[in-house]
Amino acid sequence: MKQEPDSAVPVRTRAVPEANEALQVAALQSIPEGTLVTTPEPVPGYIGFALFGLETIAFVNLLEESRFLGKPRWGALFLALVFAVVSFFLIERYTVFSHAAPIERLSFLTEETRSALERKGVKTSYAIDPRLLDARERQSLALMHLKGLGVVHLEQLQRHGVDTVGDLAKLDERQLSAIIGERQMRRVRVYLRAARAASAPSPHR
pLDDT digits (tens, 9 = 90+) for 75-117: 667 777 888 888 877 776 666 566 778 999 999 999 999 999 9
Domain count, the chain: 1
Choose between 156 and 73: higher pLDDT: 156
Q: Which residue has the higher pLDDT, 44 or 187?
A: 187
Cα separations (Å) of 16 from 29, 126, 180, 186?
Answer: 11, 11, 25, 22
pLDDT bracket for residue 26 (50, 70, 90): low
Q: How far apart are CA 179 and CA 192, in angstroms?
A: 13
**CB within 8 Å of 76: residues ≥ 6 apart:** 63, 69
Residues 6+ apart with CB under 8 A from 169: 192, 195, 196, 198, 199
Residues 138-163: what's their mean pLDDT?
94
Q: Read off the pLDDT band of 69 (50, 70, 90).
A: low
Of 19-23, 77-81, 177-181, which gets the smallest average pLDDT?
A: 19-23
Q: Best-predicted range by mean pLDDT among 24-28, 39-43, 50-54, 118-122?
A: 118-122
**106 φ, ψ (degrees, to nearest 5):** -85, 95
Beta carbons within 10 angstroms of residue 72's beta carbon: 8
Q: 133-142, long-range: CB within 8 Å, 24+ apart, which pairs?
A: 133/109, 134/110, 136/108, 136/163, 137/108, 137/109, 137/110, 137/113, 139/163, 139/164, 139/165, 140/106, 140/108, 140/164, 141/106, 141/108, 142/198
Name the most confidently modeled range: 53-57, 99-103, 172-176. Answer: 172-176
- Dist CA 154 CA 156 (whole Å): 5
pLDDT reported for residue 144? 94
Find the domain containing 172 and state its range. Answer: 1-205
